[in-house]
Chain A
Amino acid sequence: MLIGRDLHWRFGGRRLLDGVSLTLRPGELHAVLGVNGAGKSTLLKLLAGDLHPSEGEVLLNQRPMRAWSLRQRARLRAVLPQGDNLRFAFSAREVVALGRQAAVSGSPAEEAALIDAALADADVLPLAERSYLQLSGGERQRVQLARVLAQLSQPPAREPVPGYLLLDEPTAALDLAHQHACMALLRRKLADGLGVLAVLHDINLAGRYADTVSLLHQGRMLAQGTPSEVLRPELLGRAYGSNLRFLPVGDPQRPHFDIAVADPD
């Protein structure tokens, strides 16, 4: 399990995260929701081990994050950050292969198959030999997704180790079809023993695909639980502001909302 316990993060005199707890289990897809600046990315960085909490602790498989070496961490959790910094003309396949750096690697044939599988999962196998710099924003995001999938993949002979995938807005640059393909792919990966945490902006994607949801508001946990517990109009109204009206439609176990914008008057 990946556990954040009573996490605080203060920076420059501001409380960006204030006593937030979260548990990510293998086989679980956990969505983190909230407005810009609510603390979603900070929470993800604390859970990833990028930041050390001002108070509280992060436990990765029962051990404090700091007790794991960088290489051990890289074998247990992969992180898909927002945006990309790559300015060199790697091919898409080479980018995905970078994800295998810390892995316990299999034979060359197994590694190649594993990278192909990750490329195919993210629907970028036809782009494998293209230069990353010539891809569109959404294609790049899918290549990066393939990279983090490859990072936590195991050669077939190995006993699977539970891993944690931390994704900061994985669907942000994707078209509607690929948004759903991406979420469906993440659900399929749960069966391999992965735990997936995704920061999302679309509450309906969270309602449809997530097992558990955290709703952050001004650095605090406003609500946490199953989609039907968290995705309720009054809570969403508090998190996203009074301008929006959330009108539930369909199955209450898989909450889905029509969103109306209040008249400015």
Chain B
Amino acid sequence: MHRFPRHLLLPLLAALLCLTSVGALLVGPLALHLSDLRSLLSPGPSPETAYASAVLLEIRLPRVFSALLIGAALAVSGAAMQGLFRNPLADPGLIGVSAGAALAATLWLALKPALLTALAAAWVLPLAAFVGGALAALLALRLGQREGQTSVASLLLAGLSINAIALAGIGLLQQLTDDATLRDITRWMLGSLGKAGWTEIAAAAPLLLLPALLLPREGRGLDALLLGEAEAGHLGVDVEALKRRILLLAVLAVGASVAVAGMIGFVGLLAPHLVRLLIGPGHRLLLPASALLGALLLLLADTLARTVATPIELPVGALTALLGGPFFLWLLARMGGRVGAL
């Protein structure tokens, strides 16, 4: 097997990530130059640069941060779930977590008491999404368990039905809300980083960082798990504890990202696949590399989404699906249907 040199992958991705981040800060309706960055980031900009400084600090910087965090968290959760299910097509969305989170968040948006301030709302939305995602995951796990063992097939089937029910619930709620909320819900169902300011990021950052930092530590156990659950046990892995940790972290990541940016698909599927094509399925490198590549992909997609049709901003979730879907089909066709070979 010919593979990309393993030791080069993380430095290369990190370098690309830095370059892309700087690029994303500069492009937009108000074009900035690299030479402006230093003066704009310094405290107390002069009156003529105050506007540009505000654009940079209050709009683009939080947006770049949220793209990086959400992309990394989604991709590393996707990679971990694919290992957990021993299925390269598995994804947190698959077991109903995304839809459950979306339903709870929609419920919150539709019914929120007017008394709560915007600040409180910023904290409550990710919390609601996390609770919804966690409930969906617990339900899927419960339905998916037979005699204390998690059966992958029944877990996936449970996820499918939870997805259907949650999406139907969201559809019903949309009928009951006023037009402004409906627009909110719709935009956010398509996935967008347009509402990600510092408040939203501050609320979601711990929930996104925790999975992005902790999941890569599970590489050894996930490698063993690819052999099968009994086999992983024989190699000294506490499989049930490993499953619980991975599900909890994945639910955190998905719930928080759904709360901030809505439903963004394909990042959790695409990034791990690309990394596997380069360096194989070993999780010790796959997990951190997926996090970096996921951050890179979502940042690129979001930068495209907000610049390609200015002044209109495209929903980034629609963009990742538009770009990711065909790529994924091409990948499947190239593999001649041998999904396991990915």
Contact = CB atoms under 8 A, between A and B. Distances in A.
Given A94-B282, A133-B340, A151-B235, A85 B228 contact: yes
A84 B230 CA distance: 11
A90 B281 contact: yes
Contact of B86 (A85, A91, A94, A101): A85
B227 A91 contact: no
Nearest to A69: B236
A191 interface: no
Interface in B270-285: 276, 280-282
Contacts of B88: 87-88
A131 B88 CA distance: 16
Given A89-B280, A91-B1, A98-B223, A70 B233 contact: yes
B180 to A, nearest CB: 47
A84 B340 CA distance: 13
B10 interface: no
B80 to A, nearest CB: 14
Interface string B187-228: 000000000000000000000000000000000100110111
Contact of A84 (B228, B280, B281, B338): B228
A87 B276 CA distance: 13
B226 A86 contact: yes
Interface size class of A (residues with CB under 8 A): 20 to 34
A193 interface: no
A74 interface: yes
A99 B223 CA distance: 11
A69 B237 CA distance: 10
Nearest to B338: A133
Contact of A94 (B220, B231, B276, B280): B280
B236 A73 contact: yes
Contact of A91 (B226, B280, B340): B280
A178 to B, nearest CB: 21
B223 A71 contact: no
Interface size class of B (residues with CB under 8 A): 20 to 34
A95 B340 CA distance: 16
Contact of A98 (B224, B233, B238): B224
A79 B1 contact: no
Interface in A29-82: 48, 50, 69-75, 77-79, 81
A5 B1 CA distance: 47
B234 interface: yes
A130 B2 CA distance: 10
Nearest to A75: B236
Contacts of A86: 226-228
B341 interface: yes
B307 interface: no
A85 B231 contact: yes
Contacts of A133: 338, 340-341
A112 to B, nearest CB: 15
B181 interface: no
A102 B220 CA distance: 10
Contacts of A70: 233, 236-238
A129 interface: yes
A102 B235 contact: yes
A209 B300 CA distance: 63
Nearest to A151: B235
B230 A50 contact: yes
Contacts of B237: 70, 101
A73 B233 CA distance: 10
B150 interface: no
B156 to A, nearest CB: 14
B1 A85 contact: no
A79 B234 contact: yes
B87 interface: yes
Nearest to B282: A94
- A-B complex: 3 closest residue pairs judged by Cβ atoms: A74-B236, A102-B236, A85-B228
Given A69-B236, A84-B228, 19 more contacts: A72-B236, A79-B230, A79-B231, A79-B234, A81-B230, A85-B231, A87-B87, A87-B88, A88-B340, A89-B276, A90-B226, A90-B280, A90-B281, A91-B1, A94-B282, A101-B236, A129-B1, A131-B1, A133-B338
Interface of B: 1, 86-88, 220, 223-224, 226-228, 230-231, 233-238, 276, 280-282, 338, 340-342
Interface of A: 48, 50, 69-75, 77-79, 81, 84-91, 94-95, 98-99, 101-102, 129-131, 133, 151
